[in-house]
Amino acid sequence: MFITLEGPDGSGKSIQVPALAEFVRQLGYDVLTTREPGGTSIGDQIREVIMSMKNKSMNPRTEILLFCAARAQIVSEVIRPQLEKGVVVISDRYADSTLAYQGYGHGLDLKVLRGILDFATGGLTPDLTLLLDVDVETGLSRRQQGGGEWNRLDDYALAFHRRVRDGYLELAAAEPQRWVRIDASQAPQIVQQLMQEAVLRRLRPKV
Ligand code: TYD
Protein backbone atom coordinates (compact mmCIF):
# COMPACT_ATOMS: atom_id res chain seq x y z
CA MET A 1 0.00 0.00 0.00
CA PHE A 2 1.25 3.43 -0.98
CA ILE A 3 0.26 6.29 1.34
CA THR A 4 1.17 9.91 0.67
CA LEU A 5 0.99 12.95 2.92
CA GLU A 6 0.24 16.28 1.33
CA GLY A 7 -0.42 19.78 2.55
CA PRO A 8 0.66 23.40 2.41
CA ASP A 9 3.90 24.52 4.03
CA GLY A 10 3.67 24.37 7.81
CA SER A 11 0.87 21.81 7.85
CA GLY A 12 2.98 19.65 10.17
CA LYS A 13 3.21 16.62 7.87
CA SER A 14 6.81 15.87 8.61
CA ILE A 15 6.40 15.56 12.39
CA GLN A 16 3.49 13.14 11.90
CA VAL A 17 5.33 10.66 9.69
CA PRO A 18 7.27 8.67 12.36
CA ALA A 19 4.19 8.09 14.54
CA LEU A 20 2.11 7.01 11.56
CA ALA A 21 4.87 4.64 10.45
CA GLU A 22 5.00 3.15 13.95
CA PHE A 23 1.24 2.71 13.95
CA VAL A 24 1.33 0.81 10.65
CA ARG A 25 4.17 -1.36 12.00
CA GLN A 26 1.99 -2.22 14.99
CA LEU A 27 -0.63 -3.45 12.53
CA GLY A 28 1.93 -6.03 11.41
CA TYR A 29 3.34 -4.45 8.24
CA ASP A 30 6.85 -3.57 7.13
CA VAL A 31 6.97 0.17 6.57
CA LEU A 32 9.24 2.49 4.67
CA THR A 33 9.07 6.27 4.92
CA THR A 34 10.40 8.62 2.28
CA ARG A 35 10.26 12.30 1.58
CA GLU A 36 10.22 14.50 -1.49
CA PRO A 37 12.12 16.14 -2.94
CA GLY A 38 14.99 13.85 -1.99
CA GLY A 39 14.94 10.41 -0.49
CA THR A 40 17.76 9.00 -2.64
CA SER A 41 21.35 10.10 -3.07
CA ILE A 42 20.59 11.55 -6.52
CA GLY A 43 17.32 13.05 -5.24
CA ASP A 44 19.07 14.74 -2.31
CA GLN A 45 21.51 16.40 -4.71
CA ILE A 46 18.58 17.63 -6.81
CA ARG A 47 16.87 18.87 -3.62
CA GLU A 48 19.89 21.07 -2.87
CA VAL A 49 19.59 22.75 -6.26
CA ILE A 50 15.83 23.29 -5.89
CA MET A 51 15.97 24.71 -2.36
CA SER A 52 19.08 26.85 -2.51
CA MET A 53 18.52 30.54 -1.87
CA LYS A 54 21.24 31.04 -4.51
CA ASN A 55 18.85 29.87 -7.21
CA LYS A 56 16.31 32.67 -7.01
CA SER A 57 16.19 33.01 -10.78
CA MET A 58 14.94 29.45 -11.27
CA ASN A 59 12.23 29.23 -13.89
CA PRO A 60 9.06 27.37 -12.80
CA ARG A 61 9.52 24.92 -15.68
CA THR A 62 13.03 24.12 -14.50
CA GLU A 63 11.63 23.63 -11.02
CA ILE A 64 9.01 21.14 -12.23
CA LEU A 65 11.51 19.09 -14.15
CA LEU A 66 13.82 18.94 -11.15
CA PHE A 67 11.02 17.83 -8.81
CA CYS A 68 10.00 15.23 -11.36
CA ALA A 69 13.58 14.10 -11.94
CA ALA A 70 14.00 13.46 -8.21
CA ARG A 71 10.64 11.67 -8.18
CA ALA A 72 11.50 9.42 -11.15
CA GLN A 73 14.59 8.33 -9.25
CA ILE A 74 12.85 7.56 -5.96
CA VAL A 75 9.98 5.73 -7.65
CA SER A 76 12.28 3.40 -9.55
CA GLU A 77 15.01 3.04 -6.93
CA VAL A 78 12.89 2.78 -3.80
CA ILE A 79 9.11 3.01 -3.93
CA ARG A 80 8.22 0.46 -6.61
CA PRO A 81 10.62 -2.25 -5.41
CA GLN A 82 9.38 -1.85 -1.83
CA LEU A 83 5.71 -1.93 -2.81
CA GLU A 84 6.40 -5.08 -4.82
CA LYS A 85 7.78 -6.70 -1.66
CA GLY A 86 4.56 -5.87 0.18
CA VAL A 87 6.02 -3.01 2.20
CA VAL A 88 3.74 -0.11 3.13
CA VAL A 89 5.40 3.03 1.77
CA ILE A 90 4.59 6.38 3.38
CA SER A 91 5.84 9.37 1.42
CA ASP A 92 6.01 12.90 2.78
CA ARG A 93 4.83 14.63 -0.45
CA TYR A 94 4.49 13.10 -3.91
CA ALA A 95 3.06 13.97 -7.33
CA ASP A 96 0.13 15.96 -5.93
CA SER A 97 2.65 18.48 -4.57
CA THR A 98 3.62 19.25 -8.16
CA LEU A 99 -0.02 19.75 -9.16
CA ALA A 100 -0.66 21.97 -6.11
CA TYR A 101 2.55 24.05 -6.19
CA GLN A 102 3.56 24.18 -9.83
CA GLY A 103 0.04 23.77 -11.24
CA TYR A 104 -2.26 25.78 -8.99
CA GLY A 105 0.53 27.86 -7.39
CA HIS A 106 2.45 28.89 -10.50
CA GLY A 107 -0.46 28.48 -12.91
CA LEU A 108 1.14 25.88 -15.14
CA ASP A 109 -1.17 23.78 -17.24
CA LEU A 110 -2.50 20.88 -15.16
CA LYS A 111 -2.94 18.62 -18.16
CA VAL A 112 0.65 19.10 -19.23
CA LEU A 113 1.82 18.52 -15.66
CA ARG A 114 -0.16 15.31 -15.41
CA GLY A 115 1.61 14.08 -18.55
CA ILE A 116 5.04 14.87 -17.09
CA LEU A 117 4.08 13.25 -13.78
CA ASP A 118 2.89 10.15 -15.53
CA PHE A 119 6.20 9.94 -17.38
CA ALA A 120 8.22 10.45 -14.18
CA THR A 121 6.31 7.96 -12.04
CA GLY A 122 5.38 5.43 -14.70
CA GLY A 123 1.80 6.00 -13.60
CA LEU A 124 2.28 5.05 -9.94
CA THR A 125 -0.62 6.55 -7.98
CA PRO A 126 -1.06 6.49 -4.18
CA ASP A 127 -3.72 4.25 -2.65
CA LEU A 128 -4.41 6.83 0.04
CA THR A 129 -3.50 10.51 0.26
CA LEU A 130 -3.85 12.35 3.56
CA LEU A 131 -4.27 16.09 3.13
CA LEU A 132 -3.11 17.93 6.22
CA ASP A 133 -5.00 21.10 5.64
CA VAL A 134 -4.13 24.36 7.33
CA ASP A 135 -4.83 27.96 6.38
CA VAL A 136 -1.95 29.85 4.85
CA GLU A 137 -1.32 32.30 7.69
CA THR A 138 -1.13 29.53 10.30
CA GLY A 139 1.07 27.41 8.04
CA LEU A 140 3.60 30.11 7.28
CA SER A 141 3.82 31.36 10.85
CA ARG A 142 4.51 27.77 11.95
CA ARG A 143 7.27 27.57 9.32
CA GLN A 144 8.80 30.81 10.57
CA GLN A 145 8.70 29.78 14.22
CA GLY A 146 9.54 26.14 13.63
CA GLY A 147 13.27 26.68 13.51
CA GLY A 148 13.55 24.67 10.28
CA GLU A 149 15.60 26.26 7.55
CA TRP A 150 13.73 28.88 5.53
CA ASN A 151 14.11 27.89 1.89
CA ARG A 152 13.65 29.56 -1.46
CA LEU A 153 10.16 28.12 -1.85
CA ASP A 154 8.89 29.44 1.49
CA ASP A 155 9.80 32.84 0.14
CA TYR A 156 7.04 32.87 -2.50
CA ALA A 157 4.26 35.42 -1.94
CA LEU A 158 1.26 34.79 0.28
CA ALA A 159 -1.02 34.71 -2.76
CA PHE A 160 1.02 31.81 -4.14
CA HIS A 161 0.56 29.82 -0.93
CA ARG A 162 -3.19 30.56 -0.99
CA ARG A 163 -3.48 29.15 -4.49
CA VAL A 164 -1.57 26.07 -3.38
CA ARG A 165 -3.94 25.47 -0.49
CA ASP A 166 -7.03 26.00 -2.63
CA GLY A 167 -5.51 23.69 -5.23
CA TYR A 168 -5.15 20.94 -2.67
CA LEU A 169 -8.78 21.32 -1.66
CA GLU A 170 -9.81 21.05 -5.30
CA LEU A 171 -7.66 17.97 -5.91
CA ALA A 172 -9.08 16.30 -2.80
CA ALA A 173 -12.66 17.09 -3.78
CA ALA A 174 -12.12 15.69 -7.28
CA GLU A 175 -10.95 12.27 -6.04
CA PRO A 176 -12.70 11.66 -2.71
CA GLN A 177 -12.03 7.91 -2.77
CA ARG A 178 -8.26 8.51 -2.61
CA TRP A 179 -8.03 11.66 -0.46
CA VAL A 180 -8.85 12.22 3.20
CA ARG A 181 -8.77 15.83 4.37
CA ILE A 182 -7.68 16.38 7.95
CA ASP A 183 -7.92 19.71 9.74
CA ALA A 184 -4.28 20.20 10.70
CA SER A 185 -4.87 23.31 12.78
CA GLN A 186 -5.86 20.91 15.58
CA ALA A 187 -3.44 19.56 18.19
CA PRO A 188 -0.83 17.18 16.73
CA GLN A 189 -2.16 14.17 18.71
CA ILE A 190 -5.64 14.69 17.29
CA VAL A 191 -4.26 15.03 13.77
CA GLN A 192 -2.32 11.80 14.28
CA GLN A 193 -5.41 9.99 15.52
CA LEU A 194 -7.42 11.08 12.48
CA MET A 195 -4.60 9.94 10.20
CA GLN A 196 -4.55 6.53 11.89
CA GLU A 197 -8.31 6.18 11.56
CA ALA A 198 -8.07 6.93 7.83
CA VAL A 199 -5.38 4.27 7.42
CA LEU A 200 -7.35 1.71 9.45
CA ARG A 201 -10.32 2.12 7.16
CA ARG A 202 -8.15 0.75 4.32
CA LEU A 203 -5.55 -1.50 5.91
CA ARG A 204 -6.59 -4.64 7.72
CA PRO A 205 -4.46 -5.36 10.81
CA LYS A 206 -2.27 -8.44 10.28
CA VAL A 207 -1.73 -9.04 13.99
P1 TYD B 1 10.35 20.89 2.60
O2 TYD B 1 11.41 21.66 3.29
O3 TYD B 1 10.54 19.44 2.38
O4 TYD B 1 9.05 21.19 3.41
P5 TYD B 1 7.70 20.48 3.74
O6 TYD B 1 7.88 20.02 5.14
O7 TYD B 1 6.70 21.58 3.58
O8 TYD B 1 7.46 19.35 2.77
O9 TYD B 1 10.02 21.64 1.26
C10 TYD B 1 9.38 21.12 0.23
C11 TYD B 1 8.93 22.30 -0.60
O12 TYD B 1 8.91 21.93 -1.97
C13 TYD B 1 7.55 22.75 -0.23
O14 TYD B 1 7.49 24.16 -0.26
C15 TYD B 1 6.71 22.19 -1.35
C16 TYD B 1 7.63 22.22 -2.51
N17 TYD B 1 7.35 21.23 -3.56
C18 TYD B 1 6.91 21.65 -4.80
O19 TYD B 1 6.75 22.85 -5.04
N20 TYD B 1 6.65 20.71 -5.77
C21 TYD B 1 6.84 19.39 -5.57
O22 TYD B 1 6.61 18.56 -6.48
C23 TYD B 1 7.33 18.96 -4.27
C24 TYD B 1 7.58 17.52 -3.99
C25 TYD B 1 7.57 19.92 -3.30
Of the candidates 59, 183, 81, the one whose C-alpha atom is nearest the C-alpha of residue 130 is 183
Of the candidates 195, 197, 178, 199, the one whose C-alpha atom is nearest the C-alpha of residue 29 is 199
At residue 145, the pLDDT reads 83
Q: What is the mean pLDDT of the chain?
A: 95
Task: Tell whether pTM > 0.85.
Answer: yes
Segment 15-46, tens digit of pLDDT: 999 999 999 999 999 999 999 989 999 999 99
- Confidence category of residue 156, pLDDT binned at 50, 70, 90: confident
Q: What is the DSSP letter of 137?
A: H
**Which atom of ligand 1 lies nearest, measured to the CA of 94?**
24
Query: Above 70 in pLDDT, residue 172?
Result: yes
At residue 25, the pLDDT reads 98
At residue 147, the pLDDT reads 66
Please give the Cα distance from 170 to 131 (Å, whole number): 11
At residue 178, the pLDDT reads 98
At residue 207, the pLDDT reads 81
Whether the ω angle into residue 126 lies within 30 degrees of 0, i.e. cis, is no
Span 167-174, average pLDDT:
98
Residue 101 CB–ligand 1 contact under 6 Å: yes
Residue 37 CB–ligand 1 contact under 6 Å: yes
Number of alpha helices (DSSP H) and beta strands (DSSP E) in the chain: 9, 5
The structural domains of the chain, with segments of one domain joined by +, span 2-200
**Which atom of ligand 1 lies nearest, measured to the CA of 50?**
12
Share of the chain above pLDDT 90, in %: 86
Residue 206 C-alpha to ligand 1 middle, in angstroms? 33
Segment 106-144, tens digit of pLDDT: 999 999 999 999 999 999 999 999 999 999 989 988 888
Residue 1 C-alpha to ligand 1 middle, in angstroms? 22
CATH number of 2-200: 3.40.50.300
Span 167-194, average pLDDT:
98
Residue 36 CB–ligand 1 contact under 6 Å: yes
Please give the Cα distance from 34 to 71 (Å, whole number): 11
Segment 64-103, tens digit of pLDDT: 999 999 999 999 999 999 999 999 999 999 999 999 999 9
Q: What is the DSSP letter of 104?
A: I
